[in-house]
Amino acid sequence: MNLAPIAVALDAPDLETAARWATLVTPHVSTVKVGLELYLRYGPDVVASVRGATGVQVFLDLKLHDIPATVAGAARAVSRLKPAYLTVHAVGGASMIRAAAEAAPNTKIAAVTVLTSLAEDDLTSIGLAGPALDAVRRLSALAVEAGAQALVCSPIEAAAVRAEVGPEVTLITPGVRPRGAATQDQARVATPEEALA
């Protein structure tokens, strides 16, 4: 059976719920995502708990962003958990991304381009030259050149990013919502059908 190329976010209030959700979805999807809140609440044990006996890929979404030596140390520390993906912020720069990739060679470093919670006006206020699509494309090229094997971008930008970096890089698109669903704190969103297209 082919598993859907979907990373289910285990944004649960407690470890037991996250592990139960993981058990329910792993027969159908390729990956489960452990975010910063769950990881900080339960520590490294959360990865083993959600992976269970299934061996599902774990996407460790910690969004590391610090000086290269610190990010390398953090990436090395979590690489023992064998996550399939580990996120870093692309705005941390090429040296930081390279440090993470070298410190965790068996994990795909996924560079977060522009958070999907940021709208066009937000880019100006934080000093990032926009529009968002241009910023995402620039950061994508920088990250891949520095060793990132995956990129996190809005589904709205996926086609342009694919054209920028080619077919070998994995694109991860948060901000995917069914039509009519609340966008919560996401600004640049798409439906599942639009994201896959």
| Catalytic residue set | 63
How far apart (Å, rounded) are the C-alpha atoms in residues 45 and 156?
35
Question: Per the structure block, which two tokens stand in for 54?
Answer: 């299934």
Q: In what order do the strands lie in the sheet with 4-9?
A: 4-9, 29-35, 57-64, 85-89, 108-112, 150-152, 170-172
Nearest to 173 by CA among 59, 81, 72, 19: 59
The residue written with tokens 């795909």 in the block is 108
